[in-house]
Chains A and B, each alone.
Chain A
Amino acid sequence: MRLLIASVIAVGTLLAQTEVRHGTVSNLPSYKDLKYGPLPPIKPPVPVEVTLSNDLKVFLLEDHELPLVRGSALIRTGNLFDPADKRGLAEITGDVLRSGGTPSKTGDEIDVELENVAASVESSIGETSGTLSFSCLKDNTDEVLGIFKDFLSAAQFRQDKVDLVKTQIRSAISRRNDNAHGVVQREFRDIVYGRSTPFGWRTEYSDIDNIQRQDLLSFYQRYYFPSNILLQIYGDFSASEMKAKLEQIFGAWKSTQPAVPEFPKVSSKAAPGMFLAAKTDVTQTFFDVGHLGGELRDKDYPALEVAAEILGGSFSSRLFQSVRTKHGWAYSIGASWSAQYDHPGLFHISGSTQSAHTVDTLKAVREELDKIRSSEVTDQELQTAKDTVLNGFVFFFDRPSKTLNRLVQYQYYGYPRDFIFQYQKAIAAVTKADVLRVAKEHFKPEELTFVAVGNPSEFGTPLSALGLPVSPIDLTIPEPKQTTAKADPASLTKGKQELQLAQKALGGVEKLAAVKDLEYHADVEVQSPGGPVMQVKQTNSYLASGAMRQEIELPFGKQYIYSDGNTGWLKGMQGPQNLPPAVLRQVRGEIFRQIARLMLSDRDADRTVNYGGDGVIEISAKDGPSVQLQVDETSGLPLKLAYQENGAGGPGSVEQTYSDWRDVDGLRLPFQWTVVQGGKKFAEVKIQDYKINSGLTEEMLSKKP
């Protein structure tokens, strides 16, 4: 107390050490006294629109300021059309389209030719469109347009460039967890859109292995045809001359295809909860919090833009004020409604904060979201948000090319031509009541998906303090499938035939399909590495839905594991905890290999059954485990199961050899198997009994001891 008094007294005698200017500055002019004249009315340039004789739609805009010509073709395609076992096909096609060259020249030759005249042609395919663009000096327009046309109509996809891009995408996959910011964006997106949907799935090594040059050619031919393309060109040319030139260059390209179907719809359900990806090489936690949002055409879109702007769109927004300015917890913090043209976008609040403030910051995020849903924003906030858009509106028109590009986008996604002006009007009309209403209606705290990427050992307060179930995110990158055989129609058919033999040997399809639950008790001798043999009692229970429970009696206590196939818990010596990623992977493998389900893999759309030769059937799940099943070619009984295990001990190969087959309720099941891990005997399993359809439920399995 004494000190405080001393300091207060001292203030009066101190030199004002915080001040830059001594003396009065209050007579400086104030911004509040400035008056602003009107801007000239916006007169957007009007492009020339023309459809060539081959149905290619063209938009031309003259702009003679600089001696440049630029353009781009917008192609109706996208990675949403990737086949489920060839994810990444669109991306690879977009890339090799350019690098793989044209009929007369390789891509490498074209690289030099274009750069010799300081021109470029680039290609890519994104989620809901493909783009081929060019840029050149005016004098080289003809030459570059010719190359551009060759790429659009006759790309060659030379094999060496297919191989190159495949190695590069494999490298990118191997590096995808290196930057926390990239991880959080990807995981948030995948979880909210759903990992099994085209919006949320990701490319794995196995996809790249499946993609061949022919796939690229087919994809390209399916989507790159004149009536499926909108072409825009702007710059220093005469529109009428350009029209004639384009007819001459593109007119003879007559390729046609059936109309491209609609894109798949977003189909995911809300995935509320906390998802944590552990990363030890960061001092901050990167987070994304949100849920599915909406489209630009929604009537509430303008009010939602205002609401998101006030929540976290700028320096003056609430999240910025609270998390950054007031608390100093983050450099990066913001919110965005992120509406899309043709499918719901991702409403999200994102940022990064030092590990120890993870929970504080996420709490603040939730509080601000609750606040904007519970009472009206202030007049000042509304005015600032609206002024920000309306006073900056002229920047939508500061380059003629912006108007042209917007027009083409509107055409592509079926929006009215004056959409930008409708938006301007709607923003001007937004009220405080609108903001509250749309915030209540469209911001859904109960649906929030929280994704955090950080180092949980430094959080201080654990994430569970937020009162949400915490599910770990497994960042393990699935290794390429150990497929020895190439899948072709013949081997796929043969694989199914062989599996059907095994189905018969085990009691037939009906009996197998009738298994709703299965439980066995076993005595297991475990050969621990370098240690003594350990006797273990084990009970495994499975549901046809994919849930499992395991109870193991170890010499030093009992361990329980439960999983529904996606998450689960583990209880050992300590209290229950969420399944660590490594254990979850093992459990998912167990569920995948549950014998009744495994035998019916040919009926499961998510599994591939292929014949690998020598009595080996290869069964693989789309996004995860795979096994090699050796069957006796005469009896059809499974002899051996081989698989890769990527558990806590690292990756390794496992083999289970079956024996002692007996009848159980009309099924034939193994009563003994030997487990060999990494070439060494690991365990001997002897079954006491099997119980089939004893009425197990998910509730019983998930019951914590």
Chain B
Amino acid sequence: MKSGIAQSTFLLLVCPWLAPAQSLQDFEKHVTEFTLGNGLHFIVFERHEAPVVSFHSYVNAGSVDDPGGETGIAHMFEHMAFKGTETIGSKNYPLERQAMDAVEHIYDLYDAERNKGAKADPKKVAELEQQLKAAMEKANSFVIPNAYPQVIEENGGVGMNAGTGEDSTNYFYNFPRNRLELWFLLESQRFYDPVFREFYKERDVVREERRMRVESSPQGMLEEALLATAFEAHPYRNMPGGWASDIENFRLPEAIQFYKQYYVPANITISIAGDVDPKECQRLADKYFSILPSGPLPSGPRTVEPVQKGEKRVQVESPAQPFMAIGYKRPNENDKDDPVFDVLGEILAGERTGLLYTELVRDKKIALEAFADPTFPGGKYPSLFLFFLVPNMGHTVEENEKACYQIIERLKTEKVNDATLNRIKIKERAALIRRLDSNSGMAEALTFYHVNYGDWRKMFTGIDDLAKVTADDVMRVARQYLVPDARTVAYTSRPPGAAARAQKREAQ
């Protein structure tokens, strides 16, 4: 089970002030759900503590849905969703559209020439490149840049952002409650009528984002290598941002195609949390979102990752101090063992009492950091149970790897005690209460549970699943899944002579 905010499972416990069943019953009174005729689903959570509202749009499509050769296109569309509409962001839309069409036409000719490969005429390519540049400049001359986000900002919108993950794409921000209708208008129009203006400039921005997050980050490089090694076929092998050459070459019509296929109302869930009247929300939803034409629910990727046969290892050269990630194949989040993985994750990495901290960091002092993530990089499809190990000075990744395996082997032979299981259950219960303190956190969680488990109530009823997890379950799952054959190990290594080479360069 995985949500962008925090792990959140919940246990049935006898508790004088908040028995979970009552709490769900009580909570339900504040939640209203409705589905529009086109399939778009809304979850409204009333919380009148302050005159503010959080909005969260959860699109059930992410980088796993990127077509071949177009990795990163889901992320690219996310950027285009801030570019405005026909009425927001254009000085003269008919002329702008014509200019944008001209760009595509020249781009077609340019691509056609380039695609001749060795037979391409370099002069022609250069000429077309010039024309392309001029056409883009013309199209951009009709743009009122960043008009769409500006409307949000100047109306007091805060926390405006979006994120593209493997499984989903999320759009979110907060408004003062008197801007409720403005949100309905803006959000519905960006999904109804997005204009893909400045597409190729934004493509450069997206390329920069990859340089920043992946290419210039040792952690990013390791993560990319781990995924590409662990997954040989399933698209979890690609980072959500995509590969450099795909980004540099994808085209506007491809992004439109992606949008048309995946941004159908039935594939979108929206939560509104805060100082609102649900009836008013329903009225406005009808008014603004009904225009979205319905479409068939898209299917997910058909590629299934084949069973891994044997350990895989990958070394990433990096001048950074070494660190390591280890991933074990695990089933998806709808598997019956999903709660057992969550409990395992807590046993290993729960705050100051998790085994990785107490043994590797605190007692053996061989790790600076050590943690685990039970569901990585996503949960909709079979994924990884991840370990991340950062050696302490004077200690190696090998040493940490060995110590980590010792802990895993112990989990297979010794039952975890009741005190540990109880602690985990109490902590998960409290985590849910703490989550209720945040409108934006609730808005996200409601959509996440609805989409991934079919009902937002899973946030509460997941307690039953977690309550059933026994010490035997933990041992069984560790034995079944945390095995060498299902393991991928990725680590950084300082190349031999790198220090000397760097010094030499420095001296030159």
Contact = CB atoms under 8 A, between A and B. Distances in A.
Interface in A369-407: 383-384, 387-388, 390-395, 397-399
A556 interface: no
B218 A179 contact: yes
Interface string A100-113: 00000000100110
Contact of A391 (B149, B176, B507): B176
A138 B156 contact: no
A362 to B, nearest CB: 15
Interface string A1-20: 00110011011001011111
Contact of A172 (B124, B203, B212, B368): B368
Interface residues of A, number: 98
B473 interface: no
Interface residues of B, number: 118
Interface in B206-262: 206-209, 211-212, 215-219, 252-253, 256, 259-260
A419 interface: no
A328 B209 CA distance: 10
Interface string B95-122: 0011011111110010000000000000
A283 B216 contact: yes
Contact of B365 (A17, A164, A321, A383): A164
Contacts of B291: 28
B76 to A, nearest CB: 13
B86 A25 contact: yes
B52 A284 contact: no
A281 interface: yes
A166 to B, nearest CB: 10
Interface stretch (A34-42, A421-429, A502-510): A34-42
A281 B320 contact: yes
A89 to B, nearest CB: 19
B51 A40 contact: yes
Contact of A115 (B86, B216, B256, B423): B423
Nearest to A4: B131
Interface stretch (B36-44, B177-185, B460-468): B177-185
Given A31-B182, A39-B178, A331 B193 contact: no
Interface string A440-470: 0000000000000000010000000000000
Given A39-B178, A116-B426, A118-B426, A28 B17 contact: no
Nearest to B492: A178
Interface in B106-157: 106, 109, 124, 127-128, 131, 135, 140, 145-146, 149-151, 153-157
Given A16-B101, A66-B436, A394-B176, A399 B50 contact: yes
Contact of B507 (A321, A324, A352, A583): A583
A657 interface: no
Given A39-B177, A118-B429, A320-B146, A14 B499 contact: no
B251 to A, nearest CB: 9
Contact of A18 (B104, B154, B156, B508): B104
Contacts of B217: 179
Contacts of B260: 20
B351 interface: yes
A403 B319 CA distance: 46
Nearest to B498: A280
A116 B204 contact: no
B85 A25 contact: yes
B208 A353 contact: yes
- Chain A contact residues, majority secondary structure: mixed
A171 B506 CA distance: 24
Contacts of A174: 321, 393
A530 interface: no
Nearest to B134: A4
A65 B438 CA distance: 12
A116 B212 contact: no
Nearest to B128: A3
A117 to B, nearest CB: 7
B5 interface: no
Contacts of A280: 319, 502, 505
A67 interface: yes
Interface in B249-303: 252-253, 256, 259-260, 288, 291
A357 to B, nearest CB: 9
Interface stretch (B194-202, B333-341, B380-388): B194-202
A28 B191 CA distance: 13
A175 B507 CA distance: 23
Contacts of B102: 7-8, 11
A20 B82 contact: no
A580 interface: yes
A352 B215 CA distance: 12
A7 B131 contact: yes
A14 B105 contact: yes
A605 B422 CA distance: 58
A92 interface: no
Interface in B347-396: 350-353, 358, 362, 365, 368, 391-393
B350 A115 contact: yes
Contacts of A321: 145-146
B169 to A, nearest CB: 17
A180 interface: yes
Interface string B408-425: 000000000001001100
A137 B430 contact: yes
A299 interface: no
Interface in B300-359: 318-321, 350-353, 358
B433 interface: yes
A540 interface: no
A483 interface: no
17 contacts: A7-B102, A18-B104, A20-B259, A31-B185, A65-B49, A118-B426, A139-B17, A168-B392, A172-B368, A281-B218, A314-B150, A325-B198, A326-B201, A331-B205, A392-B156, A395-B52, A399-B50
Given A171-B368, A284-B211, 13 more contacts: A16-B97, A26-B86, A28-B86, A34-B181, A112-B423, A116-B422, A164-B362, A178-B218, A178-B320, A278-B505, A328-B202, A384-B154, A648-B506
- Kindly list the 8 A-B residue pairs having the minimum CB-CB distance in the complex, ordered from nearest: A391-B156, A328-B204, A118-B430, A315-B149, A392-B156, A178-B320, A282-B216, A331-B209
Interface of B: 16-18, 49-52, 82, 85-88, 93, 97-98, 100-106, 109, 124, 127-128, 131, 135, 140, 145-146, 149-151, 153-158, 160, 174, 176-179, 181-182, 185-186, 189, 192-196, 198, 200-209, 211-212, 215-219, 252-253, 256, 259-260, 288, 291, 318-321, 350-353, 358, 362, 365, 368, 391-393, 419, 422-423, 426-427, 429-431, 433-434, 436-437, 439, 499-500, 502-508
